[in-house]
Amino acid sequence: MSKGTVSVEVKGLNVGYITDKGYTRVVRNANISIPEGKITGIVGESGSGKSTLANSLIGFINPPLFVESGSVIVDGKYDVLAMDPDQLNQVRGKIISYVPQAAQNSLNPIRKVKDTINDMLRGHGMDLSTNRESVLKTMEMVGLSDRQVLDMYPFQLSGGMRQRVIIAISLLLSPRIVVMDEPTTGLDVIVQYDILKLIKKLQKQMSLTIVFISHDIAMLFQISDYVAVMYGGQIVEYGEYSELLGNARHPYTYLMLNSVPTVSTLGRKLTKIPGEFEGFSNYPKGCVFSQRCPFATPQCRDSPPQAYSYAGVFFYKCSRYPEWRDQK
């Protein structure tokens, strides 16, 4: 890969939940370097910890979430997990921005769109009236050229339009990095496609670094340059999307990609991964995927694999690569 700069560096991150019975670790020893100016996708099942990881990137860890150890360095200098709220507010929105999951609920229901935008701007010491031009320009960029949208309440807008509003808001302060957590969930397929196109366009136009989290494998691979695969709170593989498609290093990646219906799988039976994740309170002893992995050996179940890196920043956590590829 081209040796670009690293936008976000995650080192040894362990995050978990405080429960009635103590503490449950969710994200385990996450290490990843998110490159600048590219779209990095993070894919995983529901409950794999990807949203928790996404929240850590903007330092959004509130009780009952709890950072056990590790660091997240944004833009080379901001250690978001160690900063206090005032410092964080300088970074959020301006350097690194966020498009939330189920964005439909993220707009203040009793404020008009323009008032919410005003709230956001005032949070950074600006306001709508002096920045009207740039706001309108941003709205047009996301495809909302009708100025009436500003005067509407969220419940008056369609899902796709609300999503565009959220994306516009996230770009208001010209951030360099945007974290998008399932930005297309809940939208119908055609609108999803439009939003994806929009994101790609914006990324090119503004040279953004985008971190795109989703459970929709096909969609993720359509848009991402680099992909990180999460399972059971760990990043089990990270690499260029074309590499993962053709030559996945981790069995989970391979099986997951083969379970997606495509034109080439027409007529064939899709792969199904048997069993289900044991849960964070019941964490497997060895490799996190060993219980369900068809290529696992007793050694896999016994001791967790280390991360094998290649091409500098990419890695995979499987001790049986490349042997398992001969077995498939």
Partner 1 sequence: MLRSEAKRTRNYKYNPIYNLLVGMWEQRVSRVGFFILMAVVGFSVIGLVYTPYNPYATNFPRDLPPSSSHWLGTTDYGQDVFSQLISGGFPVLGVGLGTGLIGTILSIIIGVLAGLYEGTVVDKLLNGISQLFLVIPGILVVEIIGTYLGAEQIKLGYLAVLLALSSTGWAWGARVLRSQVLTMRRREFVMSSELIGESKLSTVFRQIIPNNLPLVASNFFFTSIYGIAGFTFIYYFGLGSVNQVNWGTMLYWSLGGEAYLRGLWWWYIPPGLLIGLVAFSFALINMGIDRVANPRLRVWNVKKVRRALQGEMR
Partner 2 sequence: MSPQYVIKRAIYYIIIWFFGITLDFVLPRLIPGNAIDTVIYGRIGASGYYNPQVQAEIRTTIEQLGLKQYNLPIYVQYFDYLKQLVHLNFGASLLEFPVPVGKIISEAAPWTFGIVIPAVVATFFIGNLLGRYAALGRGKPRDYVVIGASMFLYTFPVFVTGEVLIEFLAVNIHIFPIGGQYNTQAFFRPTLSLPFIWSLIYHAILPVTTIILFSLAGWVMGMRNNMIPILQEDFMNYYRAMGVPERQVASRAYRVALLPNFTSFAIAMGYSVLGAVAIEYLFNYAGLGFFFNQAVQALDYPLLNGIFFLLVTAIVLSNFVAEIVYGIIDPRTSHEETEGI
Nearer to partner 1, 63 or 125 (CB): 63
12 binds partner 1 (CB under 8 A): no
85 binds partner 1 (CB under 8 A): no
Question: Cα(228)–Cα(244) distance, rounded to whole angstroms?
Answer: 10
What's the angle, vertex CA 73, arms to CA 67 and CA 79, rounded to 5?
65
Task: Calculate helix-pair angle for 159-171, 113-122, nearest 10 degrees.
Answer: 20
280 binds partner 1 (CB under 8 A): no
What letter would DSSP give residue 40?
E
What's the angle, vertex CA 55, arms to CA 227 and CA 248, rounded to 5?
15
Given a contact cutoff of 8 angstroms between Cβ atoms, the answer to whether 6 and 33 are in contact is yes
20 binds partner 1 (CB under 8 A): yes
270 binds partner 1 (CB under 8 A): no
Q: How many residues bind partner 1 (CB under 8 A)?
A: 8
Interaction partner, residue 170 (partner 2, partner 1, none; CB < 5-8 Å by kind): partner 2
Nearer to partner 2, 98 or 254 (CB): 98
Nearer to partner 1, 175 or 233 (CB): 233
Q: 124, 200, 215, 301: which one contacts partner 2 (CB under 8 A)?
A: 124
Nearer to partner 1, 66 or 193 (CB): 66
Q: Is the dihedral of CA 236, 238, 244, 248 positive or negative?
A: negative
Tell which residue, 102, 220, 236, 100, has the closest CA to residue 170: 100
Q: 60, 280, 283, 308: which one contacts partner 2 (CB under 8 A)?
A: 60
> DSSP E strands: which ranges in 45-102?
65-74, 78-79, 96-99
Q: 4, 5, 12, 18: which one contacts partner 1 (CB under 8 A)?
A: 18
Half-sphere exposure of 203 (CA within 13 A, CB side): 22
Q: What is the CA radius of gyration of the chain?
A: 21
Interaction partner, residue 253 (partner 2, partner 1, none; CB < 5-8 Å by kind): none
114 binds partner 2 (CB under 8 A): no
Given a contact cutoff of 8 angstroms between Cβ atoms, the answer to whether 102 and 182 are in contact is yes
| Sites of contact with partner 2 (CB under 8 A) | 58, 60, 85-86, 88-94, 97-98, 100, 102, 105-110, 119-120, 122-124, 153, 155-156, 166, 169-170, 173
- In the complex, which residues of this chain contact partner 1 (CB under 8 A)? 18, 20, 22-23, 63-64, 66, 68
